[in-house]
Structure 1
Amino acid sequence: MAPNRHPAVLVLTNTHDVTADLVLRILSERRVPVVRVDPGVDLFGSASLTARYGTGEQRGALRTSNRELDLTRVRSVWVRRPSPYEAPPGPTEQASKFAAAQAFWGAGGVLASLSSAHYVNHPWHIRNAEYKPAQLAAADRNGFLVPDTVITTDPDEARRFCAGQAGGAVYKPVWDSRFRAADGTAQTVWVRKVDPAEITDAVSLCPHMFQATVPKAFDARVTAVGARLFGIRITSPDLDWRERQDLMTCAPIEVPEPVARSVAAYLGELGLVYGAFDFAVTAAGDWYFLECNPNGQWAWQGTGTTAAIAHAIADLLEKGPDS
């Protein structure tokens, strides 16, 4: 099939993204043309990007080692897991930093401005929706139950908040920052219970998020792909089920109608067509919003749910602006 005979799907992700492979396999079976590129890496090596602008004109081309994509013939852009824009070593460290910044603002800007394409999700919407404070505020506006939460740099405020929660409080980072132990090994900061007495003045070094503990019976993940929702119930011995995923079990679950309405409203407000929502569900059936990852992983779910999500994403990408 000629590269530009039909509008193509542009997939922005790294070479090790096996989750993307599930969707690309489906698109291949449907004979939908696809161009896959990791702009933060490939544009410094095997690929090139050109864009032209003028009065009444916007065109360009993305060339990889085996494809040439007319940027006016892109039906969808799937922003999956592209690498950061990090230039290879240059003559000086400053030159490398300059090149990386130009790539981020230049190539990133071009690929985020394809007027005829349908984005899943648009990179600027992903960025805006990743802020935890913005998530909590939007969740409240759109009808979700939200646990009492404080984000503070005041140690006394943190102690007062945690001491005032009858069911206890937990700490969670506002961003999954890279963290390494003294020996260099990578560390993950999991959600954990907090005793007010252990809170030190180190809280003043950066914003800390503390949240009232939800007396949950189980966790739930709702993966939203357009108007389609895929719910699973997660049972885990851990407070944070991500800590030991080999010990958790999951099974499909119906998403209550009020939750479904709030999901749709939340996505609409933040300009998203995909979102991975996490909830704590009480024995009384109350669904408390914890977070929404606008680019969350989904292939770890059961085989049936994973396959259904892959087909739903493929449908969005294939339909393009008509989705």
Structure 2
Amino acid sequence: MTETGPVVVATEADDQTADMVITELNRRNVPVVRFNPADIGADLAVSARFGTCPAPMAGQVRTPSRIAGLAGIRSLYWRRPTWPDFGHLDGPDARFAAAQVRHGLGGVLYALPGCRYVNHPLRNLEAEHKPLQLAVAQRLRLTVPPTLVSNDLDEARAFISAHREVVHKVLRWTPYRQGDTGLTTWTEPVAADELDESVTVVPHLFQARVDKVADLRVVVVGTRVFAVRIDSDLLDWRKDYGALSYSVVDLPGRLEKALTAYLEHFGLSSGSFDLAIDREGESHWLELNPNGQWGWLEDATGLPLTSAFADLLERGGP
């Protein structure tokens, strides 16, 4: 991989965090090709050849203003891409077309030779599964709150009764709309008598509530670790960013080592961790977002997160 190859950024049109990184890469005169997979057939074309040249794969991706040779891409920043849904087609045709894009364009992007992924999309997908996250966290001796994943109504009620203060979390964030209204699912308290047979339809995540005094958001970028303490009175601090205060902190060496080992386990270059700090100062594992937001933290604290991501992408290599 030559050091002069472009950085490819795959993301949606409105992505201020990606804009910050692209601006920094432009300042460094690093070539950038940006696209969204949803633009396939309009502003995005891909061609990949196999078995006709010494390299495992040759070809290019092309936008109206940029061309990137597949063998020359130094890094792929997989930010917030969206896939086409082909809503103008009938159901079977739409599902067929969507599958071809994910396995065609996606398969090409997943196979780039000599490329640094931040992060590889398939590694992201693996690391997003919360039961797997919990198991790996416990294996690495992080403090994991008692947690139940179940669609068994009796099990869920017994768990809540045993731990008394319990919260419910979604297993994966999913866009959800009722009519024209977008809905968000927060971490919320739950009582045993609130549950009914609807619990049996899908698995749910129930977790003993941590008696916390603050939250930690830890962003790891390559070998660099940035930790921010978030103080508020909120159970779920995402509900009101205006109610938050921030302070940059240093992590205990054992915790920092465990979080970097966590990313290594999944083959990730970066990730955003959420932990809760209890009254004794102990950090409790909550979750990893392998592609979490961090731009607002740089604005609030001055941490050089944009520079760290640009360093990683500029360096390239597997």
Fold equivalence (TM over 0.5): yes
For 2:109, which of 108, 111, 114 is the aligned residue? 111
Distance 1:302 1:79, change over 3 A: closer
State how many pairs are aligned: 315
> Which contiguous aligned blocks of 4+ residues in structure 1 show a shift greater than 4 angstroms?
304-307
- Structure 2 unaligned residues grouped into runs of 5+: none
Quote the residue 2:172 is aligned against. 175
For 1:282, which of 278, 285, 291 is the aligned residue? 278
| More deviation, 123-132/43-52 | 43-52
Contact 2:297/2:303, CA 8 A, preserved across alignment:
no
Q: Distance in 1 between matches of 2:298 and 2:111?
A: 35
Residue 89 of structure 1, CA deviation: 2.4
Structure 2 length normalisation: TM-score? 0.94
Q: Distance in 1 between matches of 2:247 and 2:191?
A: 33
For 1:313, which of 296, 309, 312 is the aligned residue? 309
Quote the residue 2:79 is aligned against. 80
Contact 2:246/2:300, CA 8 A, preserved across alignment:
no
Residue 93 of structure 1, CA deviation: 4.2
Residue 317 of structure 1, CA deviation: 0.2
Partner SS for 1:23: helix
Q: Distance in 1 between matches of 2:301 and 2:20?
A: 13
Quote the residue 1:149 is aligned against. 147
* 1:9 to 2:7 alignment: yes
Residue 307 of structure 1, CA deviation: 5.1
| More deviation, 106-115/198-207 | 198-207
Partner SS for 1:107: helix
Contact 2:298/2:304, CA 8 A, preserved across alignment:
no
Residue 73 of structure 1 aligns with an amino acid whose one-letter code is: G
- Structure 1 unaligned residues grouped into runs of 5+: none
1:207-222 to structure 2, matched below 5 A, reads 207-222=203-218
Residue 179 of structure 1, CA deviation: 2.9
Residue 97 of structure 1, CA deviation: 2.7
Quote the residue 2:19 is aligned against. 21
Residue 284 of structure 1, CA deviation: 1.1
For 2:222, which of 219, 222, 226 is the aligned residue? 226
Q: Distance in 2 between matches of 1:261 and 1:267?
A: 10
Q: Distance in 1 between matches of 2:77 and 2:86?
A: 23
Q: Distance in 2 between matches of 1:164 and 1:304?
A: 40
Residue 192 of structure 1, CA deviation: 1.1
Quote the residue 1:36 is aligned against. 34
1:258-277 to structure 2, matched below 5 A, reads 258-277=254-273
Residue 139 of structure 1 aligns with an amino acid whose one-letter code is: A
Q: Distance in 2 between matches of 1:123 and 1:192?
A: 30
Residue 86 of structure 1, CA deviation: 2.3
Contact 1:149/1:209, CA 8 A, preserved across alignment:
yes
Contact 1:250/1:302, CA 8 A, preserved across alignment:
no
Percent identity over paired residues: 39
Residue 235 of structure 1, CA deviation: 1.2
Q: Distance in 2 between matches of 1:195 and 1:93?
A: 40
